[in-house]
Every structure is written in structure tokens, then in C-alpha cells.
Amino acid sequence: MVVVGSCWRLADMQRSFLSLVFVALVSLCFVSVSVVPVEVAAQVRSNSANAPKKGNKSFFGWLFGGSNKRIEQANPSKKKRRRSSTRKNRSGGVAVVNAPKIVEKEKSKDAKVLLVVGDDLAMGLADGLKAVYAETPSIKVKKLVYPQTGLVAVKKPDWPEDVAASLKNEDVGLVVVALGARDNRNISVVEQGVIDGQPATYAEELQFQGEEWKKEYRFRTASLVAAIRNEQLPLIWVGLAPAEEYLTSANFSYLNDLFKEQVEPAGGIFVDIWAAFQDDNGEYTTHGPDVTGKSRRLRSKDGVYFTWAGYRKVAYFVEREIARIFGSATAFIFEGVKDDPNFIVLTGRLTSPETKLIGPDDKGGKAAAGSDLFKLTVSGEALPEVSGRADDTRWTGF
């Protein structure tokens, strides 16, 4: 009897244990179903026609496998989209800029050429400048652009030769340079030498920011600057903007310093756009005010290049410097009056053939005796002081 009683108690304990396990499993089922988001649950219900029938699975299979599977079906491409987005942002490709259609007025026959030189940055900038001068018949924007290249890339013929050839073929009035987005890397230099007593050609890899790299990059920058300034043409060199990645941004700042130290001593103008594409805290930002003051996206998704609004903003800073050089957006029209002895260009000219301003003496006129002009210019008398004016030296008291 003791043995039979013990067996019954053991059986009761097993049944109690199985009951507890079953209750726990059912509770887990309700908890897992209750935490499914509302949007996911709605989507699962809408796709219930395509769901497998309950009879095809055991109860425990449905209980443990159904919830997770429905969540994955509700977001089937979530992980894939995240991976593709990461690859796109870190790729070496260049963002395509969808510039609006620019309708330019007919240019005059003697219109001066504004030549934009560089890589993909120059391509977008050239379109921005075309929009600036679309209504100006005396300015024609042209570009000498090599996409996905720069001063580091090996290209033949080189930049100075290409620029010099363009300056000979076109009536260029000013050159704008914008490049360097791909120059934060090593330089491969092809050298001619002797190996084992025989002439040989070999390539040398110059490490980015190393002394040899810096020397070579300075030489290439100076050569491009010289090709432009030797033609006595105004040069505007546009600096790089901060990048989204901190290391790339630091490298761009380093390149800007090299550009500036070669451009400004040669008489060129370095346009620093760095702060224009930062937020109030001095950090990289994708959005900011455009040329109209409206907040827009200025930078492309790669964190290096610009949107159309961004390129148009860069063009705005370049146009300001052009206005300082030539006086105004239509300053090229003054080039036709250089032989007029009575017309003096006070702004914009590097040299001017005129030697005196227009005045009474040009027509033989003289200051009338007793007039203020006669007293000042002939007699040397001081003009009468005007009370309250800044040059009034008389004591007026308080």
C-alpha cells in the first residue's frame, strides 16, 4: 500500500507540473501576440489569405513560430534597405544634380567667357553660374570639367596644358577653379630611372599628407595657378566645404590650406565657403538657407557634394567676388570703352589707359574769379565753415 500510494503521489506531481507548463505556454502566447504593434497586426490580417492554414502546422509550431514570421513579413525589406542605404552613402559615386532648365538670353558677339575649371564640383558650379548670368548678354559661362578626377589623378595631358589650350582658343575674361573632392588620397608618380644598369619606368606611391606628397601636390596646384595667371587673367579658386565624415572634413580643411597658400600669393582670390555650410554650432549640416534665405537641403546624400540649391549658393559667393573684380554683373560691357579718353573705369580694371578725370578744364573752362572754386583751387583760401558740420572747428559750447 505504501508503494501504490507513492506511485499515485508521483503521478499527481507529474500532472501538476505538466499543467503548470501548459499554463505558462498559453500565457507566453498571449503576451507575444499582445506586443505585436498595431500596424504590423493590421498588415498580417490584410494578408491572411496568403497565410498558411492552421491545419498545416501543429499547435506548438504555430505558437512558437508564427509571431516572429509575421513581423518579418510585415517589414520584408527593412534590413535590405538599410544595407543598400549604407552602401550608397559610402560609395565613391557622385550624386547627380537635377539642375532646372536654364534659359539664357542671346549672348553678344563680343561676350567674354567665364571659364569654370575642375572636377564634379566645377560641373555643378558652372550650372549655378549660368543661372546667375542667364540675363547678362556680355558674359558666357563655359566649363573645362573632368568628372571623378582632380590634381591627384593621373591625367594626360595635364591640367596646366589643358587650361592653357582653352585660354588660347577662347576669349576668356576670368577663370574659376573648383576641385579636390577626390584628392584626399595617395599620389602615384611615374618615374624614369635605371634598374640594374638598364633604363626603367616605375611607379612610386606618395602617402597622403606626407612630405613628398605635399611637395608634389603643391607643385601641381602652383602649375595650374601659373597657367592662368601667366595670361594675366583674374583667378578665383573655390575652397572645399566641410564633409559629413569627420576625417574627410579634416582632410578637406588640409587641402584648403594648400590651395590658399598657392593662390593668394599669385594674385588670385581664394573663396572660403566653409562656414557657409555649417550650422550655428560650427558642425556639418545638410540643410541651410539658400540664396533666397529659405531653408533647403544643400548637401547631397554622400555628404561631400551639393544639391542644386547648394551649387547655386556656392555660385552666389563666387559672383560676389566677380562683382568686386569687374564692378558689377555686367561689368564686361565696359571693355569696349577703353579707347574713350573721357571714360575712366574706376573699378574692375587691372590697368587703365586714362590718366585724368572729366572736369571743367577738359573743355577749356576756368573757375570764375571770386567763386568758392576759385578761392579753393587758385587762391588757396579755406571754404567758409558750416555750423554743425563735422569740420566746424568753432566752439559752440554745450
Judged by DSSP in three states, 303 sits in coil
Q: Is the pLDDT of residue 178 over 50?
A: yes
**What is this structure's pTM?**
0.61
Reported residue count of the chain is 398
Highest mean pLDDT: which range of 195-199, 283-287, 331-335, 336-340: 283-287
Instruction: Identify whether 289 is preceded by a cis peptide bond (ω within 30 of 0).
Output: no
CB neighbour class for 382 (10 Å; exposed up to 12, middle 13-18, buried from 19): exposed
Of 159, 93, 97, residue with least CA distance to 314: 97
Are 277 and 242 in contact by the 8 Å Cβ rule? The answer is: yes
Percent of the chain at pLDDT above 90? 43
pLDDT digits (tens, 9 = 90+) for 59-98: 444 444 443 433 333 344 444 433 333 333 333 455 556 7
Q: What span, in angstroms and rounded, lies between the C-alpha atoms of 307 and 294?
A: 14
Packed helices 2-34 and 59-74: angle between N→C axes, nearest 10 degrees = 20
- Specify the long-range contacts of residues 258-265, CB closer than 8 Å, at least 24 apart: 258/214, 258/217, 258/218, 258/221, 259/180, 259/221, 261/218, 262/218, 262/221, 262/222, 262/225, 263/221, 263/225, 263/235, 263/237
Say yes or no to pLDDT of 348 above 90.
Answer: no
Q: Give the range among 46-55, 245-254, 276-285, 380-389 with minimum mean pLDDT.
A: 46-55
For residue 269 the three cell numbers come to 582670390
Per-residue pLDDT reduced to its tens digit, 131-153 = 999 998 988 999 999 998 999 98
Q: For residue 12, give Cα distances in angstroms to 2, 23, 86.
A: 15, 17, 59
Q: Is 351 left (phi over 0), alpha (psi -120 to 50) or beta?
A: beta
pLDDT bracket for residue 191 (50, 70, 90): confident
Domains of the chain from N-terminus onward: 112-334 (3.40.50.1110)
- For 158-200, the DSSP string reads -HHHHHHHHHHHS-EEEEEEE--TT-SS-EEEEEEEEETTEEE
Q: Which three three-digit cell numbers place residue 11?
A: 503521478
- Amino acid 238 reads V
**In 244-371, which residue ranges form alpha helices assigned H by DSSP?**
246-263, 308-326
Q: How far apart are CA 209 and CA 213, in angstroms?
A: 6
What confidence score (pLDDT) does residue 150 get?
A: 92
Tell me: the pLDDT tens digits for 28-67? 544 444 444 433 333 333 333 444 444 444 444 444 444 3
| Residue 39: Cβ within 10 Å count | 10
